[in-house]
Amino acid sequence: MDGDSRRDTYDVVVIGGAFSGAVFATLLQRWLPQARILMVERSHRFDRKVGEATVEISSMMLHRVLGLSDLLAREQLPKHGLRYWFADSPGCPLAEMSEVGPSEIPRLPSFQLDRSRLDQSLLELAASVGVEVARPAAVEGLDLGWPVSTVTLSAASGERTVRARWVVDGSGRQAVIARRKKILRRTEEHPIAAAWGRWEGVKDLDGVEVLGVDPRRPALPPISGSRRLATNHFCGYGWWCWMIPLRGGETSIGLVYDKRRFRWPTEGDAIDRFHDFVTSQPGLRELLADAVLDGADFHSYAHLPYRAEKYAEPGWALVGDAAAFLDPWYSPGLDHASISVYATARLIEEDLSGKLAASGAVEAAVEEHNSQFERSYHRWLGALYLDKYEYMGDAELTGAGFLLDTALYYIGVVTPLDADIEEMRYPLYGKDLWQTSAAFRFMRFYNRRLVKIARLRRRHRTYGRRNRGWRKLKKTATVGLGGGMGMLRAGLKLWLAAEFNALFLRLRRRPRITVAEAVGQATAASDPKTSAEPAG
**1-48+59-76+113-188+304-386 fold:** FAD/NAD(P)-binding domain (3.50.50)
Helices 115-128 and 19-31, packing angle to 10 deg: 20
Give average pLDDT by consecutive 10-residue segment, the chain, 536 residues: 66 97 98 98 84 86 95 94 96 97 91 92 98 96 96 92 98 96 97 95 96 95 94 97 93 96 85 95 97 93 96 98 96 94 98 97 98 96 96 98 95 92 93 89 97 96 96 90 91 97 86 44 41 31
Q: How many CA atoms lie less than 13 Å away from 221 in the CB half-sphere?
A: 15
> For residues 330 and 428, what is the distance between their CA atoms, to the nearest angstrom?
14
> Range(s) for CATH 3.30.9 in the chain?
80-87+102-110+189-303
Contacts of residue 115, defined as CB under 8 A and 6 or more positions apart, other chains included, come to: 18, 19, 46, 48, 49, 51, 52
Residues in the chain: 536
Report in angstroms the alpha-carbon separations of 474 from 384, 405, 412, 489: 21, 14, 20, 11
Report in angstroms the alpha-carbon separations of 325 from 49, 197, 328, 337, 439: 14, 20, 9, 9, 21
With contact defined as beta carbons under 8 Å apart, do 512 and 459 qualify?
yes
Q: State the greatest distance between any 2 C-alpha atoms of the chain, in Å, as a whole number.
A: 86
Q: List, in sequence order, the alpha helices (H) in 237-360.
A: 270-278, 284-287, 333-352
> For residues 138 and 13, what is the distance between their CA atoms, to the nearest angstrom?
12
> For residues 79 and 105, what is the distance between their CA atoms, to the nearest angstrom?
9
In our burial notation (b when 16+ CB lie closer than 10 A, e otherwise), range 112-126 reads bbbbbbbbbebbebb
3 state DSSP class of 81: coil
Phi, psi of 140 (to 5 degrees): -100, -35
The conformation of residue 53, written as its DSSP 8-state character, comes to: B
With contact defined as beta carbons under 8 Å apart, do 334 and 111 qualify?
no
Among 449, 297, 480, which Cα is nearest to 387's? 449
In our burial notation (b when 16+ CB lie closer than 10 A, e otherwise), range 282-294 reads bbbbbbbeebebe
> For residues 254 and 228, what is the distance between their CA atoms, to the nearest angstrom?
16
Report in angstroms the alpha-carbon separations of 310 from 184, 209, 436, 440: 9, 51, 21, 22
With contact defined as beta carbons under 8 Å apart, do 288 and 279 qualify?
yes
The predicted pLDDT at position 434 comes to 87
Q: How many CA atoms lie less than 13 Å away from 78 in the CB half-sphere?
A: 12
Tell me whether the omega of the peptide bond preceding residue 534 falls within 30 degrees of 0, making it cis. Answer: no
In our burial notation (b when 16+ CB lie closer than 10 A, e otherwise), range 61-90 reads bbbebbebeebbeebbbebbbbbbbbbbeb
Among 311, 288, 450, which Cα is nearest to 375's? 311
With contact defined as beta carbons under 8 Å apart, do 267 and 257 qualify?
no
> Range(s) for CATH 3.50.50.60 in the chain?
1-48+59-76+113-188+304-386
Among 532, 39, 9, which Cα is nearest to 277's? 532
The predicted pLDDT at position 5 comes to 55
In our burial notation (b when 16+ CB lie closer than 10 A, e otherwise), range 247-263 reads eeebbbbbbbbbeebbb
The predicted pLDDT at position 533 comes to 32
With contact defined as beta carbons under 8 Å apart, do 166 and 149 qualify?
yes
The predicted pLDDT at position 509 comes to 66
Report in angstroms the alpha-carbon separations of 476 from 116, 231, 404, 479: 29, 14, 12, 10
Residue range 80-87+102-110+189-303, CATH number: 3.30.9
